[in-house]
Structure 1
Amino acid sequence: MTWVAWRQQRAQLMVAFALVALVAAVMVFVRIDVSSMPGDQGQLSDRYNQFLSYVPMVMLVLPVLLGMFAGAPVFAREIEQGTHIFGLTQSISRSRWWATKLAVAGLPIIIAMATLGIVNAWALGPLNFIMSGRMRTPLFESQGLVLGAYTAVAFAIGATAGLLVRNTLAAMAITLGGYTAMLVVVSNAARPAYADPTYSTGLLPTDVWRVESGYLDGAGKPVSIAPEKCGMETIAECLAGQGVRSEFAWFHAGERFWSFQAIEAGLFAALTAAVLALGAWAVHRRLR
């Protein structure tokens, strides 16, 4: 069964490995190049500012692409072609047929993407200052443990959607929508609550992630401002004229990066398990 699953998925796996290896090679080159300019932040910013605007887009798209083109066809294509009947009539259980295909098609890709996330964290370490720290979106999603977790949930959505709708194109569309929705909800609603934010009214390091900020009056109470009332005076004079005496912020420090990465990876692992549980139900209850 394992050999059959490998023969069926080897083309997608080879393409996925080549794509991940290409991105990893670029990131290794970047780290080597950065290491040749130690401490020269001005030169690093000039050379890699535009590069860092593209890296997050690639890293956010890779998991969903792998989910769409490697996960969605795993079952949907077999059902469309009717070849699943042969597998289900052999001397193996439905659970083994389902689990083997998932393991052969999904685990190598997830491991490769998790490795790429670690490589990215190593390569981008000296460049995080350009985008004011790696706690903020989209640098947070571009490196570390979460890349493998994102790929796992995207693959699970694609494979399970294929079992439910039995159509490859429809499964791809569901993968794109489901992955995007999960990522947006988690990054905006869940991630700020992974830990209690720190409160400060003073200057903050550049690598912190502000989750809330505002202005205070002389009594230390929050005060709203109207930027449209500012004329030719400086920003400081405009704020002072509207009663502003200081700023406040709730933030997460850059030192929380790896703990937040672990929490989010665990959260997406739980979401993956829930999606796969739905797939296990579909194999036994809906697949004929």
Structure 2
Amino acid sequence: MIWLTWRQFRTQAFVAVAGLVVVGAYLVYLGLRIRHDYTAGIVNCLPSDCSTTRRTFSERYEGPVALAGALLIGVPGLIGIFWGAPLAARELETKTDRLVWNQSVTRVRWLAVKLAVLGAAAIAVTGAYSLLLTWSASRYDQFAGDRFAAMNFAARNVTPLGYAAFAFALGTVVGLLVRRTVASMAIVAGVFAVVQIVVPAVARDHLMPPVTTNVAFAADVMEHADGFGMNPTSAHLIGYTMPGTWPMQGVSQVYNADGTPYTAAQARECMKGEPAENMACTAEQNLHFSYTYQPGHRYWPFQWIETAAYTCLAALLTAFGLWWVRRRITLR
């Protein structure tokens, strides 16, 4: 059975290995470039040039790192579509299941061997890609301090392995139920895309209760925010992110030391023309704002929790598939 599975799977295996070699070579090249520029430009920059150097470094590598991450997020989906969905659906659609199941190999063993061999290959390919990307982008991630961002979180370390196991098991089960290869592939693509959107948008930030703290409005606060908004009765900070954390709010109202809202009239007192002077003046007003976030030290617990959740879903789908092929599929 293992030999037969390999014979059927070898073309996909060769394509996956060739793609991994090409992408891996690029990631090694990209990682070496990032490390060189990080050491030469960021670590050893002159104080007068650091702001420009940091901006240049960000602009140079933000796109390539994001593109590599998006590709990795898509790899489990492609595995589910092209490896999982046709696994049983093609056999059922072409009626070759009649030949296989009339031999000495039982249905459960037939499916179990295929799931074990191809599932291990799927996890291995995804794991190798994740390892390469995590290493390649590590210096950039350290610089950006945004490991909790949806695309960064899903394309680093161990969570892609859970996605791969889930996508492959999902594709196999859908193929067993639908019995049509193309239709199964389309359904898997849709379901996996919805899951990858819903989980980070709705579920991930609730895995652990967030922390709320008061942050002093220091002179460097605006370096980690997208903007500063005002209306007649209050002022608010837009898109503030404490380095290394995951913010749970997009807008933070600013308060005076006595807890009253900081107003636009007070803010205008510090508008003297130069941004640096304005921020220094604002910082001297002893302001603060409330910040709700997930601390940076929770990154690995979040990784393991999400990986375990997807792995459990994969195990449940696998168990259902084995039960279905034994009890509900009949020779036609």
Structure 2 length-normalised TM: 0.75
Structure 2 CA distance for partners of 1:34 and 1:286, relative to 1, 3 Å: same
Structure 2 CA distance for partners of 1:193 and 1:167, relative to 1, 3 Å: same
Q: Work out the CA distance in 1 between the residues paired with 2:126 and 2:24.
A: 10
1:132 shift after superposition: 4.2
1:135 shift after superposition: 1.3
1:216 shift after superposition: 4.6
Within the candidate set 273, 282, 287, 2:315 is matched to: 273
Which residue number corresponds to residue 215 of structure 1? 253
Structure 2 CA distance for partners of 1:33 and 1:201, relative to 1, 3 Å: same
Q: Work out the CA distance in 1 between the residues paired with 2:263 and 2:180.
A: 53
1:129 shift after superposition: 4.8
Residue identity matched to 1:144: N
1:143 shift after superposition: 1.2
Residue identity matched to 1:215: Q
Which residue number corresponds to residue 47 of structure 2? none
1:251 shift after superposition: 1.1
1:21 shift after superposition: 2.8
Contact 2:77–2:189, Cα closer than 8 Å, also in 1: yes
Q: Work out the CA distance in 2 between the residues paired with 1:13 and 1:209.
A: 38
Which residue number corresponds to residue 232 of structure 2? none
Which residue number corresponds to residue 255 of structure 1? 297
Which residue number corresponds to residue 284 of structure 1? 326
CA radius of gyration, larger in: 2
Within the alignment, does 1:206 sit opposite 2:243 as a pair? Answer: yes
Within the alignment, does 1:37 sit opposite 2:74 as a pair? Answer: no
Number of corresponding residues: 276
- 1:136-151 correspondence to structure 2 within 5 Å: 136-151=149-164
Contact 2:72–2:129, Cα closer than 8 Å, also in 1: no
Residue identity matched to 1:191: R
Which residue number corresponds to residue 45 of structure 2? none
| Deviation per residue, 1:246-278 (Å, 9 max, x gap) | 322211233322221111111110111122222
- 1:210-249 correspondence to structure 2 within 5 Å: 210-212=247-249, 213-218=251-256, 220=259, 246-249=288-291
Q: Which moved more, 1:160-169 or 1:117-126?
A: 117-126
Q: Work out the CA distance in 2 between the residues paired with 1:29 and 1:19.
A: 16
Residue identity matched to 1:255: H
Structure 2 CA distance for partners of 1:185 and 1:215, relative to 1, 3 Å: same
Q: Work out the CA distance in 2 between the residues paired with 1:214 and 1:254.
A: 20
Contact 1:164–1:286, Cα closer than 8 Å, also in 2: no
- 1:82-161 correspondence to structure 2 within 5 Å: 82-129=95-142, 131-161=144-174
**Superposition RMSD in Å:** 2.7
Contact 2:174–2:184, Cα closer than 8 Å, also in 1: yes
Unmatched runs of 5 consecutive residues or more in structure 1: none
Structure 2 CA distance for partners of 1:46 and 1:164, relative to 1, 3 Å: same
Residue identity matched to 2:248: V
Unmatched runs of 5 consecutive residues or more in structure 2: 43-52, 216-220, 222-240
1:31 shift after superposition: 1.4
Residue identity matched to 1:37: D
Q: Which moved more, 1:52-61 or 1:162-171?
A: 52-61
Q: Identical aligned pairs, as a percentage?
A: 30
Within the alignment, does 1:168 sit opposite 2:181 as a pair? Answer: yes
Structure 1 length-normalised TM: 0.86
Which residue number corresponds to residue 229 of structure 2? none
Tell me the SS of whatever aligns to 1:247.
strand
